[in-house]
Amino acid sequence: MPDRSTLVLVALGALIAVLLPLASYLDERSKAPRAEDVLLVSYPRSGSFWLRFLLAQAARGDSLNIDFHNLEDIFPDLEYGPNRAVYVGAEEMSTDYKEVRRERPRVRLPEIYKSHMVHRPGAEPPCDVSVGPGLHETACECPNCPEKWRRVIYLVRDGRDALCSYYNFQRNLGAENTADGFSDFLRAESLYPGVSWAEHVRSYLDLPTPGVASGASEEGPEVLWVRYEDLHADPAKELRRVLNFLGVRATDVVIREAVRKSEFSSMREQEEDGGLRLFDRHYSDRQEEFRVVRKGKIGSWEDCFGKNGAFEEAREAFNAENLDVMQKLGYVESARWR
């Protein structure tokens, strides 16, 4: 028969096993992000699924088949994903969520949450008024409030490619703002997340960055900038850079495996076989050709901008909102790009 001290240790271990997940859950219910939490933010269609797959494969790819369902349990989506309600305390954790949280990953990442929210200090509900008409009235509520976070990863993509991909994405969802073509889509005022591509990028540009400032300041979080084009050219290098920013280590073997398992062909296969939790739930009548994982090409904007007169019109519409930031980031040199 076990002695008394052994029984006490067993009971204490059982209590800790119960309290640790509970403490994490209570932190999530508090709405406010903790200092160690990280916000992964981007304008829509800039590669956030890909970067999340890379991180998830690095952390858990040895013990978990990463798909579009458990990806949202690993990195909760603060806007429309199934975990936003959990974070703000509106409903209980799902069984899948609990199981993923109980797993011990080989690479222990800080808590990372995904968002498309613009950095707009002081934004508060109704968010469609304080930010822009493309937002739900409660979309800027904390924890979806970037100015409260201390660390941010900003994933940026050539605005032409991002908006072309976003146009096709919305069109295949049956969105009304795509009915009159790409140029009118570029001029739409109620496009989520309530601001233009350039305004979204610009809102993060002046925040402290690693190597430039000594971390987060009273003015805002520390921001690591990741270019989609760099991720495309050398995903292993960029994944390593992100992990360094997060303060975690991974072997070269883990990095290579994460890159291999996150190839576009693998992600497309996961989408085809397993479906999409959010889109299956809210967009069941979407067009058959709808895909979250599309081509991922650099320069795909040419498919949307067209030729001759159509190109001139689309370029003018794009430049009106986005030219200054495109030039600042080195994507174009002048208004006459083509």
What is the SS3 assignment for 297?
Answer: coil
Task: Tell me, yes or no, whether 67 lies in a domain.
Answer: yes
24 domain residue, yes or no: no
Please tell me the predicted confidence (pLDDT) of residue 20.
46
Stretch 79-86: mean pLDDT: 63
Phi-psi category of 322—alpha, beta or left, where left has phi over 0 and alpha has psi -120 to 50? alpha
Please state the pTM of the whole predicted model.
0.84
- Report residue 79 as tokens: 């806007």
CATH of the domain at 154: 3.40.50.300
User: Please, which pLDDT band fits residue 324 given cuts at 50, 70 and 90?
Assistant: very high
Q: Please check whether residue 243 lies inside any domain of the structure.
A: yes
Both tokens assigned to 202: 């610009």
Average pLDDT over residues 283-306: 71
- Upstream peptide bond of 143 is cis (omega within 30 degrees of 0): yes
Residue 235 host element (H or E): helix 235-246
Token pair belonging to 255: 């990095």
* Residue 276 included in any domain: yes
Torsion of CA 244, 245, 247, 251, to 10 degrees: -20
Torsion (CA) 84, 90, 91, 93 in degrees, nearest 10: 40
For residue 12, being part of any structural domain is answered with no
- pLDDT reported for residue 238: 98
The answer to whether the CB of 49 falls within 8 A of the CB of 246 is no
The whole-number pLDDT of residue 214 equals: 39
Task: Tell me if 117 is assigned to some domain.
Answer: yes
Band (pLDDT 50/70/90 cuts) for residue 78 is confident
Contact 216, 25 (CB under 8 A): no
Chain mean pLDDT for the chain: 83
Long-range contacts of 172-176 (CB under 8 A, 24+ apart): 172/286, 172/287, 172/289, 172/290, 172/291, 173/283, 173/286, 173/287, 173/290, 174/285, 174/286, 174/287
Q: Which domain holds residue 59?
A: 31-328
Query: Nearest 10 degrees: CA dihedral of 155, 319, 199, 324?
Result: 80
The H or E element that residue 97 is part of is: helix 95-102
Q: Are the C-beta atoms of residues 262 and 235 closer than 8 Å to each other? A: yes
In the predicted model, what is the mean pLDDT of residues 142-154?
Answer: 92
9 within a domain of the structure (yes/no): no
pLDDT digits (tens, 9 = 90+) for 27-59: 554 567 888 999 999 999 999 999 999 999 999
- Binning pLDDT at 50, 70 and 90, where does residue 15 land? very low
Count of domains observed in the chain = 1
Looking at the domain assignment, is residue 240 inside a domain? Answer: yes
**pLDDT for 67 beyond 60:** yes
What pLDDT is stored for residue 111 in this prediction?
Answer: 92
CA of residue 121 relative to chain centroid, distance:
20
Q: Name the nearest CA neighbour of 267 among 77, 47, 108.
A: 47
Residue 228, pLDDT > 70, answer: yes
The continuous run of DSSP H or E covering 26 comes out as: helix 4-29
